[in-house]
Structure 1
Amino acid sequence: MILDDITAAVAGRLAADKERISPEMMKEMALSARQKQGFPFEKALAQDGLSFICEVKRASPSKGLIAPDFPYAAIAKAYEEAGAAAISCLTERDYFQGSIDYLKDIASQVSIPVLRKDFIIDEYQIYEARANGAAAVLLICAILDDDTLRRFFALADSLGLSVLVEAHDEQEVRRAIAAGARIIGVNNRNLKDFTVSLDTSCNLRPLVPPSVLFVAESGIKTAAHTKVLRQHGVDAVLIGETLMRAADKKAMLQELAGEVHDAG
Structure 2
Amino acid sequence: MFLEKILDKKKDSLKRAEKKISLERLKENLEDKSPPRRDFRGCLERNAGRAVIAEIKRSSPSKGVLSREKDPLERAVTYEKSGAAALSILTEEDFFAGSLEDLTRVKGSVNIPVLRKDFIVSEYQVYESRSRGADALLLIASILPAEDLRSLLEISRSLSLDPLVEVHTREDLEKALGCGADIIGINNRNLKTFQTSLEVTLELVARIPANLLVVSESGIKDYHDIKKLREAGVDAFLIGEALMVHSSPGEKIKELLGGFHGKG
Quote the residue 2:189 is aligned against. Answer: 189
1:102 paired to 2:112? no
Quote the residue 1:8 is aligned against. Answer: 8
Q: 1:133 to 1:262 in 2, by over 3 A?
A: closer
Quote the residue 1:199 is aligned against. Answer: 199
1:134-173 residue CA offsets vs partner (Å, 9 max, x unmatched): 0001000111000000000000000000000000011111
Q: 1:137 to 1:262 in 2, by over 3 A?
A: closer
1:96-128 residue CA offsets vs partner (Å, 9 max, x unmatched): 011000000011111100000000111111001
Pairing of 1:144-159 with structure 2 (within 5 A): 144-159=144-159
Quote the residue 1:213 is aligned against. Answer: 213
TM-score by length of 1: 0.96
Q: 1:263 to 1:42 in 2, by over 3 A?
A: closer
Q: State the alpha-carbon separation in 2 of the partners of residues 71 and 63 from structure 1.
A: 20
Pairing of 1:162-181 with structure 2 (within 5 A): 162-181=162-181
1:63-91 residue CA offsets vs partner (Å, 9 max, x unmatched): 11110123301111111111111000000
Quote the residue 2:112 is aligned against. Answer: 112
Quote the residue 2:222 is aligned against. Answer: 222
Q: What residue identity is the alignment partner of 1:204?
A: L
> How big is the shift at 1:174?
1.2
Quote the residue 2:43 is aligned against. Answer: 44
Q: State the alpha-carbon separation in 1 of the partners of residues 224 and 236 from structure 2.
A: 15
Contact 1:52 1:85 in 2 (8 A): yes
Q: What residue identity is the alignment partner of 1:251?
A: E
Q: What residue identity is the alignment partner of 1:45?
A: L
> How big is the shift at 1:35?
5.5
Contact 1:123 1:152 in 2 (8 A): yes
Quote the residue 2:75 is aligned against. Answer: 75
Q: State the alpha-carbon separation in 2 of the partners of residues 33 and 75 from structure 1.
A: 28
Contact 1:168 1:200 in 2 (8 A): yes
Q: 1:246 to 1:88 in 2, by over 3 A?
A: same
Quote the residue 2:253 is aligned against. Answer: 253
> How big is the shift at 1:7?
0.8
Q: 1:262 to 1:150 in 2, by over 3 A?
A: closer
Q: State the alpha-carbon separation in 2 of the partners of residues 213 and 83 from structure 1.
A: 19
> Helix, strand or coil: the match of 2:96?
coil
Q: What residue identity is the alignment partner of 1:44?
A: C
Q: State the alpha-carbon separation in 2 of the partners of residues 175 and 262 from structure 1.
A: 30
> How big is the shift at 1:34?
2.9
**Alpha-carbon RMSD:** 1.5
> Helix, strand or coil: the match of 1:163?
strand
Q: 1:262 to 1:40 in 2, by over 3 A?
A: closer
> Helix, strand or coil: the match of 1:46?
helix
Q: State the alpha-carbon separation in 2 of the partners of residues 139 and 31 from structure 1.
A: 24
> How big is the shift at 1:60?
0.6
Q: What residue identity is the alignment partner of 2:163?
A: V
Count residues with an aligned counterpart: 263
Q: State the alpha-carbon separation in 1 of the partners of residues 146 and 44 from structure 2.
A: 25
1:167-215 residue CA offsets vs partner (Å, 9 max, x unmatched): 0011111111111111000100011111100000011001111111000
Contact 2:50 2:262 in 1 (8 A): no
Contact 2:90 2:116 in 1 (8 A): yes
> Helix, strand or coil: the match of 1:194?
coil
Contact 1:224 1:259 in 2 (8 A): no
1:225-247 residue CA offsets vs partner (Å, 9 max, x unmatched): 01100010100000001001111
Q: State the alpha-carbon separation in 1 of the partners of residues 44 and 263 from structure 2.
A: 19
Contact 1:50 1:234 in 2 (8 A): no
Gaps of 5+ in 2: none
TM-score by length of 2: 0.96
